[in-house]
Amino acid sequence: MDALPLSVWLVLIAFAVLQAILAAAQAYEHRRFARSRLRSIPACRPAGRVILFVPCRGRDVGIEENLSAFFEQDYADYEIRFLVESADDPVCRSIRRVAAKHPGLCTRIHFTGKAANCGQKVHNLIQGTAELPDDAKYLAFADSDAQPRPEWLRALVSRLDRDDVGAATGYRWFVPVRPTIPNLLATSINASMGMFLGSKNPNIVWGGSWAIQRRRFDELQIRQAWRHKLNDDLVVTSTLRRRRLRIEYEPACAVASPLDLSARQMVDFGRRQYLQGRLYLRRCWLIGLVLTTYSLGAFFAALAAPAMITAGGAAGPWLFACAAAIIYAGWVYRGFQRVRLAEELFPRHRRQLRAVRPLDLLGGPLTALVNWLIFASSAVGRRLVWRGIYYRLDPGGNVLQVRHQEGRPAVAADAPQETAAAAVEQVTAPAATA
């Protein structure tokens, strides 16, 4: 290796080392910010009626425990709307059982019907938000596989009263039901992505834990923005960024999410997330792919370089070896911060999360490689299956075709945008809100 190529390689590796150091610093800052926000929760005292929307499909892992958490929020004035495709969905029985234990909370099930020209979750949200009571001040959204803490709703809406804040969001933290390799990899990769959220970062709304003021929801025409789309949260993120409104990340609204995936399900899940990023936040997706490719490539290049260098001075091999060690140390440090943060956010799940520690602390290159392979696979294709429903999309993320498991495809061009109003079942109706 002559002097010029060696110097070029050293510069490239130096940038990778800098990237590793900055990522480690972000992990430290994320945990510091999370701890400070957790301490401030007792001071959060928002007021105003909240409508909480929970789209459901099928029986998620731990579904009744998940649902119970939504009924046990320490917020005085809210109601829950469960958005379900049909009354035949087995989740309805779980909703009714859990709601029967909490008769003091207004609870409804909206039967939204099948999606024909958008994602089923988006269709549920469009139908569920069609009619809102005049006294609703905030709209909150959650996924049925989430287990929020009791102060979740209070902490979430408390961040919305600043004029420059468009939405507040939490994030999901997977809790592996079984310590299998796919579960551990998905948990570690997902948690590492969440560490890039922060107090001043360009955050992204996560659809399983977010809230918005009702007036802002109407002003931004979120329901109209969802039309023909597969994704809900990235569409909201894009809309807020165009209006230069902040997305406030609230660490207290990170939610535990039980996870049990096969290897195929893990790959499909990861590819689906990145594919939606490519379609709805293309610039973010491209930057993420470039940085992930660069850091991983630099690490393996730095490992291989000492054996390949035959000239260029005795310092060359040692410099590359030191660079690889620093990049690896960055992975270890970030894993350490994730482990400690998980213990602080989810003490109830410490036993299950303990299984992820070795991978978080020592498996940085492996998780980074698996993540990169899934990330790169999202660079092609616009077809996917989500909760048993097949979708085909155009380059702009508009849904062209929806095919439900039982048969004939629905083509978006041939279907109306919105079907008739959703049928509603009043599950519980306390006297004060009936």
Window from 58-72, 263-277, 365-379 with minimum mean pLDDT: 58-72
Per-residue pLDDT reduced to its tens digit, 239-296? 999 999 999 999 999 999 999 999 999 999 999 999 999 999 999 999 999 999 999 9
What value does the mean pLDDT take over residues 407-421?
47
Average pLDDT, the chain: 91
> Are 8 and 76 members of one domain?
no
> Are 54 and 191 members of one domain?
yes
Whether the per-residue pLDDT at 419 is higher than 70: the answer is: no
> Are 320 and 192 members of one domain?
no
> Are 116 and 264 members of one domain?
yes
Whether the per-residue pLDDT at 414 is higher than 90: the answer is: no
Give the pLDDT band of residue 8 (cuts 50, 70, 90). Answer: confident
Residue 39 forms part of a structural domain: no
| CATH code of the domain in which 189 resides | 3.90.550.10
> Are 424 and 301 members of one domain?
no
> Are 225 and 317 members of one domain?
no
pLDDT at 317: 76
> Are 186 and 315 members of one domain?
no
Residue 331 forms part of a structural domain: yes
Q: How many domains does the chain have?
A: 3
What tokens does 370 get?
Answer: 């698996």
> Are 17 and 128 members of one domain?
no
> Are 348 and 222 members of one domain?
no
Per-residue pLDDT reduced to its tens digit, 192-213? 999 999 988 899 999 999 999 9
Residue 433 forms part of a structural domain: no
What value does the mean pLDDT take over residues 114-133?
96
Whether the per-residue pLDDT at 392 is higher than 60: the answer is: yes
What value does the mean pLDDT take over residues 172-187?
97
Question: Which residues form the domain of 118?
Answer: 45-282+418-428
Whether the per-residue pLDDT at 166 is higher than 60: the answer is: yes
Q: Could you tell me if 110 and 221 are in contact, meaning their C-beta atoms sit under 8 angstroms apart?
A: no
> Are 345 and 275 members of one domain?
no
Residue 195 forms part of a structural domain: yes
> Are 129 and 273 members of one domain?
yes
In the chain, the N- to C-terminal Cα span, in Å, equals: 79
Window from 135-139, 213-217, 407-411 with minimum mean pLDDT: 407-411
Per-residue pLDDT reduced to its tens digit, 339-364? 999 999 999 999 999 999 999 999 99
> Are 231 and 312 members of one domain?
no
Global pTM reads 0.91
pLDDT at 370: 98
Residue 30 forms part of a structural domain: no
Whether the per-residue pLDDT at 434 is higher than 50: the answer is: no
Residue 34 forms part of a structural domain: no
Residue 38 forms part of a structural domain: no
Residue 40 forms part of a structural domain: no
